Amino acid sequence: MRFLNQASQILGKKPFKKIFILICLLILIPILRSGPRVGYGIAKNQNNRILRIGTSGRVRSANIFLDSYISVFAQLSNPSLMKMTPDGRIVGQIAKDIHISSDYMRWEFHIQEDLYWSDGELVTPEDVKFTIEYIRDRSPVAGWMKDTIDTVSISDEKAVILQLKRPYTRLDVEMATHRLLPKHIWQSIDTPMQYTNPGENVGCGPFFIQKIDLNRGVILFAQNPFWKGPKPKIDAIEVHIYQNIDVLSLALDKGEIDVFYNYASSYPYQNLKKIRANSRFDFIEKLSTGLIFLGLNLGKAPMSDLRFREALSFAIDYGEIIKLDSLGYGKIPNRGFLPPTIEHYKDTTPLEYNPEKAKQILDDSGYGDHNGDGIREGHDGKNLALTLLVRPVHARLAELIQDYLRSVGVKTTTKSVDTSTWINLKDRYRYDLTIARTTPWGMIMHAGWATGYFDSRRTGEGVLHNIDDPKFFKLCDDLLSTRNKEKLRDFAFQVQDYYNGQLPAIPLYWNVFVTPFHTKFQGWLTNPLYGIFNIDNFLNIEPAQK
Amino acid sequence: MKKPALPRQNGSAQKKSLSSLLAVVLFLVFFILALCANIIAPHDPWERFDPYLPPSVEHWLGTNDLGHDILSELIYGSRVSLLVGLGAAVLATAIGLCVGLFAGYYKGVTDEILMGITDVFLMIPRIPLIILLAAFLKPSFWIIALVIGFLWWTSTARVVRSKSLQVSEMNFVLSSKCLGFSDKHIIFTDIFPNIIQIVIPKFMLTVAAAMITEASLSFLGLGDPSMKSWGMMINFAFTKGGLINALWWWFIPPGLCIMFFVYSVVLLGYSLEEKEQAVLGIS
Amino acid sequence: MSCLHIKHLTVTFETLMGTVVAVDDVSFDHESKETLALVGETGCGKSVIASSILKLLPDNANLSGEILYGDKDLLRLSERELADIRGQEISIIFQNPTLALNPVYRIGDQISELFRVHKRASSKKSKAYATSLLGRMGFKDPEHAFHMYPSQFSEGMNQRVLIALALALHPKIIIADEPTKGLDDQLKEEILKELMKIKEEKESSLFLITHDFDAARNIADRVALMYCGQIVEIALSPDFFDEPFHPYARGLLKSLPSHDFAPIPGASPSMISPPEGCRFHPRCAERLEVCSHEMPEPIKKSGRIIRCFLYR
Amino acid sequence: MKKIARYLLALFIIISINFFIPRLMPGDPITNLMGEDYIVSQESIDALKAELGLDKPLLVQYVTYWGDVIRLDLGHSFHFHTEVSQIIASKLFWTTALVGLSILFGTLFGAILGALSGWGKNDPKNKTLTTFFLWIYCTPPFFLSLVVLYVFAFKIGIFPLRGFYETGTFTDIAKHFFLPVLVLSLSLASRNYMIMRGSIIQEKGKLYILYARAKGLLNRGILFRHAFKNASLPLITLVALDIGFIISGALFVEIVFSMNGMGTLIFDALLARDYPVLQGIFLIITIMVVVANFLADIVYGIIDPRVREQR
């Protein structure tokens, strides 16, 4: 305002004064005219029948089929066949129940009978058949379906039968991530790659997408008028998209949004202190199924040497990483990689910070510093200088790792690149070390138990595919071969033993997901896959009694 | 060719020298900070204390998310920030000077071509391109300086060209030509000294632009995370909760440092520029 | 009847080098309808006097004394009152006409501006005035000239425009500050003729500032000679050119190509630290003992005003 | 004529640069298409690449690109699932409004205040004004945005935190626009102020100013009738460039204020290596810059007859 004062002084003479006042008025009138609403958000705060969710995911287009961010939200309007329960089991959602042939070649999904699309049409097996075929034929991510699903047919009135080309045990897991599409709408859409619908998207969940306004940054959900299930206790859900996590935090603190949600993410730890001071908020804190880990390029010396990997694992100060990078919202991991929240968790050796031991191992296994420059040499006699490839989000962690390794005599250079470059370099194995994280889906994809991150027989944007070991391949195949609980547990233990023994990656910490929510709502339910963003939760949430 | 000095208002000369003095002092302070960072800084900026400490006697500006002493970071940060700013400006000025000198001296086709190239560079959308290049090349601060320098020479080239056009028409240059001196000799011994006084202010303004650009790139996360520059400090202050927790001692000082340093450079540039009565142009 | 009394006008400039006394205690009268030529070498302060009359000096100038126009002291008028006089009652013609005109406005607009400012004429009317004025100034196609820009005109044409502007509102006094500087002889003559003709028509008085003795001799009624910020002699034009009194005047006339072509020895002194006593004494062939330590005061002698000890 | 030829050549080179630079970066539009959780099979990748024409040699792609440019066919984006022209059109509207207003206010305030300050005496009032604008000029725009956002939107809470609009009424849009327009206008105004001030100080010493005074014009009249027009010449080129950079100029402000405009689009497209979008944006920017420069030349000619004659 100092500017305005000075401006008015300067202009304080004759005609400019009038013009200046006019301009000021033009600017101020709309601000003043807005009447009793003192500020944004304060008035809105009163409504506790609309749930406002804040996210910082970069939703790019109004295409629920292909935009990976929006498809997470679209599960509310276009539920998947299967879902994950709060305790992590996969059960039916649109499917009432499933029958699987003993050779895992024939899957029969029985469909709920009282589901209606938001335009009044009944949800039929035809819709399911259409959706699966549509994904198989038109989605770039469903290559596996082409190799796996032979035919889709409808047996009687209410069952969809998938005849497979090869035995596949984890079809139900896959079916928890694909959204059901209304055939009568989507059958006319030939090129989903060029399709957006910012208006009403017909859905069959308890809520449907009323509007996707990306200029405003919101996805609006309204109640599905034809929903026959338990009636939701809230009227509408709004997803507000923020491009900046700090602004999101400010909005949360101000009460513009009621809860934070990012897929596979905790509320940023460093912002928690502030929101904890706000008495209107409460928190869901859960150890996630994921973790942050140091990936190693196993095909390259010295990372190919188990002794070297062991030494690295002793060089890292896990306690300090937890203190600094997760502000205490983490747990020191085990060598077995998987956190205890995963089914069939096996308690393996905890990782330990012991730089002396790290140095000892390095000395013993031929990585001594023979030329005395403070940097150890590899077996080829050259200084150990490793490239640590990271994305900007992990810049601080990289700084710590670099420091830990320096103090045991291993030199690293941090290369911080954007995601596309990271994927590109990682896929071409152009790194020595890298920092990555797992997602809830990543932990169960492929054969499960994080195998999807390491199996070099398959690639993907977020995975390292760095294990090229027949023993590991065998383990994956074993896991994929059965749905028998005992056998699965046995194989899962074996995988964890493999991680424990081989250290294909060094877990840095198991993280805790913290989700702040406004106490004007109660009855929150989360599941390990999608956190709070699941239908059970939105059916359960209710305005808190005052 | 030199116009008679315009009569100035009372006291303006005095005021000018005062603000120039301020600029020189500020500039020198930062320069000394950068030069003697290891002596002045109270701690090693990479030493880890407790994180998120508020200002205290031990840590005047508190500590950051990794527990680094912010004051020491700030002092060390002046090195990288100054290097990026000066490096980029040296490069930009060198390119601009050469292009402008040659275009202005040779005229004709050379001029057309060089000015055509300048137009192209002037019209390239700089910010997106620089983001693109910064994301593409490994983000070390030298690369950032290089990229900024490579894109920021156009206005220098234009000013130098018009000035050297003027100078090369002057008698002493014409006589040098008659005496058969080589073009290179004429350009660098006759024309160059007459241009230097308009180049220095441009150089200063380029330093300012480069520093602001470096800070902005760092803010987008495209900086060099292993280097402590003021821009990176602001970046981390924002990504690691400095703003939301109102830790002003973390994000305000580097911002102020950028402002103060840029201010000193710009002021120096202006006072030099006004002394020479050259056209004011900042872009 | 005199229309302009200048009394003890002193103008100093504050510069970085020190205080410059550009005009030192100058007094003279300017009669109605008279042509007064102020002559002197370049840098002697002639133009400063011209600018002081309309108070067009830069901010670092200090003025003292009085410039009486009618019953008003021009030096003590407000900017607003001065603005009414400028261009309307006292107008000025600068040297460098091309620089005096604004390069980005059409000639016609710059003339009509005068009518709009002083007469509050409508744009249509002022355009008509301007066109007719251009016609009278000898532009063959005034409509066309109206739409031209100063850069499209020659120096001489622009000078005509300036003269047209100076005469447009029938001012009482026209100040012409070296109007012919830099023009060739033929043009010079034409311009001067033009100036005189219109001056006669409008019954204005002309204050001509020039270093060109021929011009002064041809058109001036009276001549005032300046040296180093002071007026050293004022005389009727014929008297002055027939028999100059002041040694400086004599020296100057001798140095003209039409006479002996003998320059005065020495150079004009610095205006920051002028010599003690008579300003001219270091170069004066007829200097007396007193000249070197005492400043001569202006005295009246046989219808002239002279500043020299020889005539005491 | 020569000028037009030069513009065409510049256009050619810049449009070529727009083609090559994104392609030199590691990765391509398919690399980061579906997010970290999805596996895109090699078969699908090849199919998608073929659809985008990325399987062909670079030179063939380049020729095709020029064909598309000439037909003004910007193609479609895999990341945004829309015609590129449509994406750009929807974002351009808001960004143009944002930047257009800022350029308007920034130029108006900067030029007028700069002119007044350059014209007037160097009194405390002008000194403070100059110092104020100098400080603004020295502040990185993103930093200014963040501070303004924090103070006005969060601490005082009289403005919304993000976006172009909430309800879409005029009042609502005005509220959303106020802070970003303020920041952008201030930083534009600071530059324009400096330029105009310097320019006026230069013009102030010219003879035509003195002559205008001798004609009987008053101080302000001389400033706005005479000096202003001449002094604004250097500003015109810069404002033309501003108009050209309408698209990218607001990048930082858009990011801080979570505005889904062209700036964020560029950033997203860059990180996604979305060639069609990048090319489309750059093409639009290039055309706008070249056209704006061309217009500036014309305006320049209209204002200054001397320039016109030289042509």
Q: Do A and D make contact, counting contact as 3+ CB pairs within 8 angstroms?
A: yes
Q: Say if residues C220 and C35 touch (Cβ distance below 8 Å).
A: yes
Burial of A447 per CB tally in 10 Å (0-12, 13-18, 19+): buried
Residue C111 domain-assigned (yes or no):
no
- Phi, psi (deg, nearest 5) at residue A109: -105, 120
Q: Under a CB-based contact definition with an 8 Å cutoff, are residues A531 and A515 in contact?
A: yes
Alpha carbon distance C33, A271 (integer Å)? 87
Sign of torsion over alpha carbons C298, C301, C306, C307:
negative
- pLDDT of residue C274 exceeding 50, the answer is yes
Strand, helix or coil at A199?
Answer: coil
Do residue A292 and residue A176 come from a single domain? no
D273: left (phi over 0), alpha (psi -120 to 50) or beta: left
Total number of domains constituting chain D = 1
Tokens of B260: 């103060």
Distance, first Cα to last Cα, chain C: 28
Residue A72 lies in a domain: no
| Domain CATH for C27 | 3.40.50.300
Which domain CATH number covers A155?
Answer: 3.90.76.10
C window 49-68, beta carbon within 8 A of D: 54, 56, 59
Residue A16 lies in a domain: no
**C278 to chain D nearest CA, in Å?**
34
Which of the residues B10, B15, B275 would you substitute to probe the C interface, choosing the one with the greatest number of C C-beta atoms within 10 Å?
B10
Contact flag A196-D81 (C-beta cutoff 8 Å) = yes
Can you tell me the distance from the alpha carbon of A285 to that of A297, in angstroms, rounded to the nearest whole number?
A: 33
A30 part of a folded domain: no
Alpha carbons B82 and D277: distance in angstroms, whole number? 36
B138 neighbourhood in chain A, CB within 8 Å: 415, 417
User: How far is it, in rounded angstroms, from Cα B81 to Cα A448?
Assistant: 47
Residue C163 confidence (pLDDT): 85
Domain with C79, as residue range(s), is: 2-89+171-311
Amino acid at D218: L
How far apart, in whole angstroms, are the C-alpha atoms of residue B142 and residue B22? 30
Q: What digits encode the pLDDT tens for the residues C127-150?
A: 888 888 888 877 888 888 888 888
Identify the CA nearest to A272 among candidates A511, A75, A499, A463. Answer: A511
Integer Cα distance of C95 and C92 in angstroms: 10
Tell me the average pLDDT of chain C. 85
Per the structure, the count of domains in chain A is 3
What's the whole-number mean pLDDT along residues A255-280? 92
Residue A139, both tokens? 């989605």
Which residue from B6, B123, B234 is facing D143, i.e. has the nearest CB? B234
Nearest to D99, CA basis, from D263, D268, D299, D219: D263
Nearest Cα of chain D lies from the Cα of C101 at a distance, in angstroms, of: 5
* CA gap B236, B228 in Å, rounded: 10
Neighbours of B62 (CB within 10 A): 21
Asked whether residue D310 carries a pLDDT value surpassing 60, the answer given is no
Q: Which residues are CB-contacts of B188 (< 8 A; sequence separation ≥ 6)?
A: none
Chains B, D: CB contacts under 8 A, how many?
136
Alpha helices in C119-184 (DSSP H): 123-136, 142-146, 155-167
The yes-or-no verdict on residue C225 having pLDDT over 80 is yes
Half-sphere exposure at residue A89, Cβ-oriented, CA atoms within 13 angstroms: 5
Residues in D closer than 8 angstroms to A241, CB to CB, are: 258
Best of D210, D211, D228 to disrupt the C interface (most C CBs within 10 Å) is D211
Shortest distance between the Cα of C28 and any Cα of chain B, in A, equals 27
- Report the pLDDT value the prediction gives residue A21, as an integer from 0 to 100: 58
Name the residue among D121, D214, D304 with its Cβ closest to that of C104. D304
- Tell whether D114 is within 8 A of chain B (Cβ): no
Q: How many CA atoms lie within 13 A of A480 on its CB side?
A: 19
Residue D33 has pLDDT above 70, yes or no: yes
CB contact under 8 A, A439 and D37: yes
Q: CA separation (Å) from A436 to A328, A386, B147?
A: 19, 17, 29
Using one digit for the tens of pLDDT, what is the confidence trace for A276-295? 999 999 999 999 998 999 99
**Residue A425 lies inside a defined structural domain of this protein:** yes
Which structural domain, as residue segments, surrounds residue D240? 84-310
d(CA B71, CA B63): 8
* For testing contact with chain D, the best of A2, A141, A446 (most D CBs within 10 A): A141
Is A240 part of any domain?
Answer: yes
Under a CB-based contact definition with an 8 Å cutoff, are residues D116 and D201 in contact? Answer: no
Q: Which residue in A56, A18, A75, A12 sits closest to A537, CA to CA?
A: A75
Residue extents of the structural domains in chain B: 21-38+67-280
Residues 6+ apart with CB under 8 A from B270: B201, B280
User: Which has the closest alpha carbon to A438: A351, A536, A342, A353?
Assistant: A342
D162 touches A242 (CB < 8 A): yes
What domain range is A113 assigned to?
A: 80-136+143-184
In chain B, which residues have pLDDT < 70?
1-17, 136, 138-139, 273-283
Within-domain flag for D159 = yes
* Chain D residues 164-223 within an 8 A CB cutoff of chain A: 164-166, 168, 170-171, 174-175, 178, 186, 220
Mean pLDDT within C261-271: 78
pLDDT for res C218: 84
Chain B residues with CB-CB distance to D22 below 8 A: 132
A445 with A458: CB under 8 angstroms?
A: no
CB of C81 within 8 Å of a chain D CB? The answer is: no
What is the distance in angstroms between the Cα of B9 and the nearest Cα belonging to chain C? Answer: 6
Whether the CB of A36 is below 8 Å from some CB of chain D: the reply is: no
Together in a domain, A462 and A529 = no
Q: Is residue C208 part of a domain?
A: yes
pLDDT band per the 50, 70, 90 thresholds, residue A323: very high
Predicted pLDDT of residue A37? 36
What b-and-e string marks burial along C21-60, b requiring 16 or more CB atoms within 10 Å of the CB? bbbbbbebbbeeebbbbbbbbeebbbbbbbbbbbbbbeeb
Any domain includes C98:
no
Question: Do A275 and A307 sit in the same domain of this protein?
Answer: no
Residue C32 domain-assigned?
Answer: yes
What is the pLDDT at residue D249? Answer: 63
Tens of pLDDT, residue by residue over A29-69, are 544 444 333 344 444 445 778 999 999 988 888 999 988 89
Say yes or no for a CB contact (<8 Å) between C149 and D230. no
> Is A39 a domain residue?
no
Quote the pLDDT of residue A408: 94
**CATH number of the domain enclosing A223:** 3.40.190.10
Stated pTM of the model: 0.84
Task: Write the CATH number for D90.
Answer: 1.10.3720.10
Tally of domains within chain C = 1
Neighboring chain A residues of D48 at a CB cutoff of 8 Å? 140
Strand partners, C19: C14
Q: What whole-number distance in Å separates Cα of residue D175 and Cα of residue D161?
A: 10
Give yes or no for a contact between D114 and D105, defined as CB atoms under 8 angstroms apart.
no
Q: Give the per-residue pLDDT at A334.
A: 95
Under DSSP, the state recorded for C285 is: T
Of D210, D215, D219, the CB nearest to C79: D219
pLDDT at A8 over 60: no
**Half-sphere exposure (Cβ direction) of D259: Cα atoms closer than 13 Å:** 34
Neighbour subunits, C (≥3 Cβ pairs < 8 A): B, D
Q: What is the pLDDT of residue A209?
A: 96
For residue A302, is the peptide bond before it cis, meaning its omega torsion is within 30 degrees of 0? Answer: yes
Chain B residues lying within 8 Å of D247, measured CB to CB = 125
Mean pLDDT of D224-250: 80
Residue D141 with chain B: CB contacts under 8 Å? 212, 216
Binned at pLDDT 50, 70 and 90, residue A24 comes out as low
Percent of chain A with pLDDT over 90: 73
Nearest CA in chain D to B251: D143
Q: Are residues A264 and A304 in the same domain?
A: no
Answer yes or no: do D306 and C103 touch at CB < 8 A.
yes
Do chain C and A touch: 3 or more Cβ pairs under 8 angstroms? no
pLDDT tens digits along D160-191: 888 888 888 888 989 999 999 999 999 999 98
pLDDT for residue D184? 92
Q: Which CATH superfamily is domain B21-38+67-280 in?
A: MetI-like (1.10.3720.10)
